[in-house]
Amino acid sequence: MTTANVKARGTRPHPRPRSARCPCAVGMRVVRFIDRSRTIRLPDGKTSPRVLVTVVRYPAPGSPSGTDLTDAPTERASSPFPLIVFGHGYTVTPAPYARLLRAWASAGYVVAAPIFPLENRNAPGGPNESDLVNQPADMRFVISRMVAAGDAAANPLRRMIDPTRIAVAGHSDGGDTALAAAYDPRFRDARIRAAVILSGAEIPGLGGLTFPRGGPPLLATQGTADTINPPAFTYAFYDIAPRPKFLLTLVGSEHLPPYSYQQPQLGIVERVTIAFLDHYFRRGSLRRLITLGDVSGIAHLASSP
């Protein structure tokens, strides 16, 4: 694993910063995107278009409350906001990550979390991990539909999304998905400007992930006690990734708890991921990002900005 000293020189924040009047209340809508250009095979042998039920959280007027306000109006005073598309892990849905996704939305981000059609816990016939290779295209499709929603005159999210400030994030297989969508030449979406990979890895069986020049900044996180995606998986892609890159190590943490309920780890992940995105999308402080990531005995942030 490689590390480097923190230097302000060499950082590349996004050239169009905007201040947000947040933390805000969080609105939530569930939308149904259908990709008719691709299909899934059902247990009875029939095929169906890829349906991506997507939970969208967004800044809403008011103060944070710790709950989602279903179909709440959108916060207009400081829109448009950056977009984060989040991928859930294998055999779950976005539900276990609700607090983390709510924290991002409260901080001034529109967060779209699709339910992958064959890897989620309620998939027809049971979860099928062989569909992982198809999920980067799902993520690209959701980006396109969310950007289109922001442009549509009658859509509740109209003028809410800045198409020049798009990030992907994901945990476990969702992290594999986001990593591929952000960097892998076979799947890459050039609209992605930052990536947050939570205990992820390269998609198995494809071999040879190569990072493009000038790719988006990377924040990877990893628990040292994770036995599902062990630390070596994260170190493998982090070490070959070009700058700028950051690695948040969670001492003694396992696979899902630090991204769903474990404290103080979840709070650290919330603050560090927001500071990372703020740095590149809103010219937030690099020093603040580094400080938030170093918590004695609990977390350490290695960086190569």
> The pTM is what?
0.92
Q: Of 198-212, 227-241, 268-282, where does mean pLDDT reach its minimum? A: 198-212
Beta strands at 68-70 and 25-41: parallel, antiparallel or unpaired? parallel
Q: Of 130-134, 180-184, 210-214, 269-273, where does mean pLDDT reach its minimum? A: 210-214
Closest to 177 measured CA to CA, from 57, 88, 267, 56 = 88
Amino acid at 260: S
- Judge whether 260 and 266 are in contact, CB under 8 Å: yes
Q: Is the pLDDT of residue 146 over 50?
A: yes
Between 291 and 44, name the one with better pLDDT.
Answer: 291
Q: Which helix (H) or strand (E) holds 275?
A: helix 265-282
User: Residue range 46-61: average pLDDT?
Assistant: 96
User: Residue range 189-196: average pLDDT?
Assistant: 98
Q: Is the pLDDT of residue 2 over 80?
A: no
Closest to 179 measured CA to CA, from 125, 130, 127, 233 = 233
Q: Is the pLDDT of residue 4 over 70?
A: no
Q: Is the pLDDT of residue 161 over 80?
A: yes
- In this prediction, residue 290 has a pLDDT band, given cuts at 50, 70 and 90, of very high
Q: Is the pLDDT of residue 153 over 80?
A: no
Question: What does the pLDDT look like over 89-132, one tens digit per residue?
Answer: 999 999 999 999 999 999 999 999 999 999 999 999 999 999 99
Considering the chain, what percentage of its residues have pLDDT values greater than 90? 83
- In this prediction, residue 20 has a pLDDT band, given cuts at 50, 70 and 90, of low
Beta strands at 161-171 and 47-60: parallel, antiparallel or unpaired? unpaired
Q: Is the pLDDT of residue 19 over 80?
A: no
The whole-angstrom separation of Cα 134 and Cα 116 is: 9
The whole-angstrom separation of Cα 219 and Cα 231 is: 14
How confident is the prediction for the chain on average, in pLDDT? 92
Burial 45-66 (b: 16+ CB within 10 A, else e): eeeeebebbbbbbbbbeeebee
Question: What does the pLDDT look like over 270-282, one tens digit per residue?
Answer: 999 999 999 999 9
Those residues with Cβ within 8 angstroms of residue 223's Cβ, 6 or more apart along the chain or in another chain: 199, 231, 249, 250, 252, 253, 254, 255, 258, 265
Instruction: Kindly list the distances between the CA atom of residue 73 and the CA atoms of 27, 31, 76, 111, 112, in Å, as whole numbers in the listed order.
Output: 7, 15, 9, 15, 16
Sheet holding 245-250, edge to edge: 68-70, 25-41, 47-60, 110-114, 81-87, 161-171, 192-198, 218-223, 245-250, 299-304
Instruction: Kindly list the distances between the CA atom of residue 155 and the CA atoms of 21, 81, 142, 262, 285, in Å, as whole numbers in the listed order.
Output: 22, 15, 15, 36, 34
Q: Is the pLDDT of residue 138 over 90?
A: yes
Considering the chain, what percentage of its residues have pLDDT values greater than 70? 93
- In this prediction, residue 76 has a pLDDT band, given cuts at 50, 70 and 90, of confident
- The structure tokens listed for 231 are 């630390």
User: Residue range 22-43: average pLDDT?
Assistant: 94
The whole-angstrom separation of Cα 238 and Cα 235 is: 5
